[in-house]
Structure formats: structure tokens, C-alpha cells
Amino acid sequence: MGVTNRLACYSDPADHYSHRVRLVLAEKGISVQIIDVDPGRLPPKLVEVNPYGSVPTLVDRDLALYESTVVMEYLDERYPHPPLLPVYPVGRGNSRLLMHRIQRDWCALVDLLLDKRSAEPARAQARKELRESLTGVAPLFGEMACFMSDEQSLVDCCLLPILWRLPVMGIELPRQAKPLLDYMERQFAREPFQASLSAAEREMRKL
């Protein structure tokens, strides 16, 4: 297949961490071979390049990178246009902190809700927490075109795959979350976002 001679991304079509990386690739218009991975059946090549056998995994010739934020930042540096992190250190630091907060505050809840093995009482609690938390920050989305920024960034690339999955998680945002709902509508309609979606992800919102 010659995977190592060009850019390839091992990706789970339903996984929000894989979706992040596909979104970055789409934002930058990077030509890449997306290799869909069934979590239960890992390709031997993936296990060969990544000791954890995890996705997303990016292979760029002899380099193999895993852990979604590492892959996203590498792509932003390797393909600098359009930039998805601010130019200046303070701005970059703030963006990284927002990515960390999304990871810490929301991703644990999302992972629990998307794991079919989770017990229903835990799911109900996670659903309530995530809905309240997103509703609480909704006003922030009315201030700028993107999340805490006028430009598209890696922060949006972390957040949008979560927001796309709200129906699957059984979360409907209330009317007072209108700035966030408007942001979602705007962002989901963008060409790069549409290009980032797998067939499994389109099915989540029946497109």
C-alpha cells in the first residue's frame, strides 16, 4: 500500500478524538489517506507503528504520531496555512489551556456517555453535568465568530466533534443556549466540517 510514503491517518469513524484530527486535516485541505479502524480489529501496520494501537494515529513517512492533541499541533506546524493556533506565545498558551479545559471538563463526560458499557445512573449524571456546563458557557459563543476567537482554531476542532454528538448522547440544549446553538449551526455548515465527517458521523444526525 505504500502507506509510509505519504500521509496516512488511522481513524475510528465514530470516535470524537479521531474526528478532531480529520477536522484539522480538512481545515488545511491536506491530502491524506484515511484508514478506517474498527477498535476490535486493529490493522497489523497500526500496531507496528503505535505500541498502544490507539487512534487517531498519523503516519508521515517514517514518523508515527498518536494522541490527538500531539497530532493536531504537529499538523498545524507542518502545514502552517491556514494557522489554527495564534502566532504569539500568550495567545497560543490560552488556546492550549482551553483545549486542556475541554479535555478535562467535558471529554470525560463525553467518553462516559459514548461508552455503551457505562451504567445508566452514571450516564444520567454525566448527561446532566454536560448539558448544564455547555448551557452555562453558551453566552461566550455570542461574542466572537469562533470559540473565544475571531479565527478558526484547534480549540474549535476539539469542541465541534463533541457538539456534533449531542443527539447521540441524548442531550438537547435549551433555548437559553442560543449563542451556542447558533455557533453550532454556523460551524456545521462550513465546508471543512462537512468534509471531515465519516459516514458513521453523518448517520449520527441522519444526513
Residues 181, 96 within the same domain: yes
Nearest alpha carbon to residue 1 among 33, 31, 29, 25: 33
Structural domain including 57 reads: 8-78
The reported pLDDT for the residue numbered 89 is: 93
Residues 101, 173 within the same domain: yes
Residues 74, 97 within the same domain: no
Residues 74, 96 within the same domain: no
User: Tens digit of pLDDT for each residue in 19-42?
Assistant: 999 999 999 999 999 999 988 888
Q: What is the CATH number of the domain that holds 57?
A: 3.40.30.10
Q: What would the grid cell of residue 47 be?
A: 500496531
Residues 131, 66 within the same domain: no
Q: How many CB atoms lie within 10 A of CB 155?
A: 22
The reported pLDDT for the residue numbered 207 is: 56
Residues 107, 131 within the same domain: yes
Q: What would the grid cell of residue 95 be?
A: 488556546
Q: Where are the beta strands (DSSP E) in the chain?
A: 7-11, 33-36, 57-60, 63-66
The reported pLDDT for the residue numbered 1 is: 38
Distance CA 72, CA 25 (A): 9
For the sheet containing 57-60, what is the strand order?
Answer: 33-36, 7-11, 57-60, 63-66
The reported pLDDT for the residue numbered 3 is: 40
The reported pLDDT for the residue numbered 6 is: 83
Structurally, the chain folds into a number of domains equal to: 2
User: Tens digit of pLDDT for each residue in 76-98?
Assistant: 999 999 999 998 999 999 999 99
The reported pLDDT for the residue numbered 39 is: 80
Residue type, 27: E
pLDDT beneath 50, residues of the chain? 1-5
CB burial class (10 A; 0-12, 13-18, 19+) of residue 99? buried
* DSSP-based helix, strand, coil % in the chain, nearest 5: 55, 10, 30
**Is 202 within a domain?**
no
**Is 31 within a domain?**
yes
Residues 61, 114 within the same domain: no
Nearest alpha carbon to residue 169 among 121, 112, 122: 112
The reported pLDDT for the residue numbered 188 is: 97
**Is 23 within a domain?**
yes
Domain boundary at 31, 47, 78, which?
78
